A and B are shown apart, each in its own frame.
Chain A
Amino acid sequence: MSDIADRVKKIVVEHLDVEEDKVTETASFIDDLGADSLDTVELVMAFEEEFGIEIPDDAAETIQTFGDAVKFITEAS
């Protein structure tokens, strides 16, 4: 697993307080990991800070799963 994926996973595990093995490629933050809509906003904020990037609102809406997040951040950074 890439360094980016590791760092994203760490943020997700800490923020949503879930088991690491539940955070799979297709795991949906809301449907599988118990996030509410505000959690997803906070996750995006945490990603922005961790990776020093800006994630615009329309892009943030497309980040629904762990895999989406890794893909977006890999492309952006």
Chain B
Amino acid sequence: MFDLTGKNALITGASGGIGGAIAKALYDAGATVALSGTRVEPLEALAAELGERAHVLPCNLSDKESVEALPKQAAEAMGSVDILVNNAGITRDNLFMRMSDDEWDSVLNVNLTSTFRLCKGVLRGMMKARWGRIVNISSIVGATGNPGQGNYAASKAGMVGMSKSLAYEVATRGITVNCVAPGFIATAMTEKLTDDQKDKINAQIPAARMGTPEEIAAAVLYLSSQEAGYTTGTTLHVNGGMAML
């Protein structure tokens, strides 16, 4: 099941914990992958670990021109982009009353606007191929909200509405657009938390633990597969039961 042989996937934020796991899962299922991110070294290391079907395409998602060039670079490197995983994201947390325009703009720009541009950039090829899979990595926070993350939550909720709208438009062309909304996942981002903070978080999760990047990757693999062709416009919540939506 879930054989991606012959499919070409572009993954943003591949230098991060979740993005790396997604790239690995798609690669292991047979896909050729283009690894995008800001930091070249971890991308090169991941590509070397994966093998010859992995390409490295550094990109600064806060730069409009770089973002618009990325789908073309990926298509040149791999021949096409059949699967797009918008995983890259940033946080600039602050209390709402203290949040600056810059904190708001930068998070919306990288998390939501770049996702819009990348989706737009891969659609032409997918429409012609009559096949495509777009998976946008949202967040539990987009559905539940979180103090200090007004900008981040807005960007992640925005992704869901955008994905549903796009899913409507391209469904007849064999293209699906879905979101995966992770809860708390153990990555470098959560390692900074103290044990006390982690205990408090785990107490709110029915599964009583954080998720793993591989558990997010498995959801992405499903939504990228041929088998998921009738699943579109949905959000798959992977959060250990923390929010049952």
Contacts and interface: CB of A to CB of B under 8 A. Distances in A.
B173 A38 contact: yes
Nearest to B172: A38
B124 A45 contact: yes
Give the interface SS of chain A, mostly helix, strand, loop or mixed: helix
Nearest to A39: B172
A42 interface: yes
B205 interface: no
B69 interface: no
Contacts of B170: 38
B124 A38 contact: no
Nearest to A45: B124
Contacts of B124: 45
A interface, size bucket = under 10
A45 B127 CA distance: 10
B170 to A, nearest CB: 7
B169 interface: yes
Interface string B118-138: 000000100110000000000
A42 B129 CA distance: 12
Nearest to A49: B128
A55 B127 CA distance: 18
Interface string B4-15: 000000000000
B173 to A, nearest CB: 7
11 contacts: A36-B172, A38-B127, A38-B169, A38-B170, A38-B172, A38-B173, A41-B127, A42-B127, A45-B124, A45-B127, A45-B128
Interface of B: 124, 127-128, 169-170, 172-173
Interface of A: 36, 38, 41-42, 45
Given A38-B169, A41-B127, A45-B124, 8 more contacts: A36-B172, A38-B127, A38-B170, A38-B172, A38-B173, A42-B127, A45-B127, A45-B128
